[in-house]
C-alpha cells in the first residue's frame, strides 16, 4: 500500500475562488487539489484531499490519519482561532503537519485573525503565499517522507 498525504481544509474553503477573491484569490479548491495531485502522483504517493465546515468531522479525519500517513497539509481556516478539539486531535498525530494559510494571517485587519492556536503543535507553517502555499506544503511533506525512507 502506498503512503498517503492528506490535505484537510476547514470552513468556507468550499467557496474558494468566489469568497473574497481580493484576499484569497480566484483559484478554486478543485484547482488546488489538481496541482497537489500532480505532485503526489509524481512522488508515488496517494492524496486524500478534503474540505469540511464541521469541526467534529475534522477531528474524525485527524483521528483516522493519526498513524501511518506521510504527512498532512492543513488549512484550518476559521478553526485557526478556537477549535480546541481539532488542536487536541492534531496532538495525537504521528506524522508531520504543515499549517497552510492562503492569506498572511499576521497582516489581517482584525487582531484575532493574526493568532493561530494550531501553530504551536504543527511541524511548520506556510502563510501569505496564496493557493501556491498548498503546493509548497505538499512538496515539503514529500521531501520529509523521502528523507525518512
Enzyme catalytic residues: 24, 101
d(CA 90, CA 97): 8
Which alpha helices (DSSP H) does 6-149 contain, by range?
21-24, 29-42, 55-64, 84-91, 132-148
Cell match 481556516: residue? 77
Residues 6+ apart with CB under 8 A from 14: 29, 51, 53
- Reduce the DSSP state of residue 127 to 3 states and report it: strand
Amino acid at each position: 500500500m502506498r503512503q498517503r498525504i492528506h490535505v484537510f481544509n476547514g470552513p468556507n474553503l468550499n467557496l474558494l475562488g468566489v469568497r473574497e477573491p481580493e484576499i484569497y484569490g480566484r483559484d478554486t479548491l478543485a484547482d488546488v487539489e489538481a496541482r497537489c495531485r500532480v505532485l503526489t502522483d509524481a512522488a508515488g504517493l496517494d492524496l486524500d484531499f478534503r474540505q469540511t465546515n464541521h469541526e467534529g468531522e475534522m477531528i474524525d479525519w485527524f483521528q483516522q490519519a493519526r498513524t501511518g500517513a506521510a504527512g498532512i497539509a492543513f488549512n484550518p481556516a476559521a478553526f485557526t482561532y478556537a477549535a480546541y478539539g481539532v488542536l487536541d486531535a492534531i496532538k495525537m498525530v504521528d506524522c508531520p503537519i504543515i499549517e497552510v494559510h492562503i492569506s498572511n494571517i499576521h497582516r489581517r485587519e482584525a487582531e484575532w485573525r493574526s493568532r493561530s492556536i494550531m501553530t504551536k503543535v504543527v511541524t511548520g507553517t506556510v502563510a501569505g503565499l496564496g493557493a501556491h502555499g498548498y503546493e509548497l506544503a505538499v512538496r515539503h511533506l514529500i521531501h520529509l517522507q523521502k528523507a525518512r525512507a
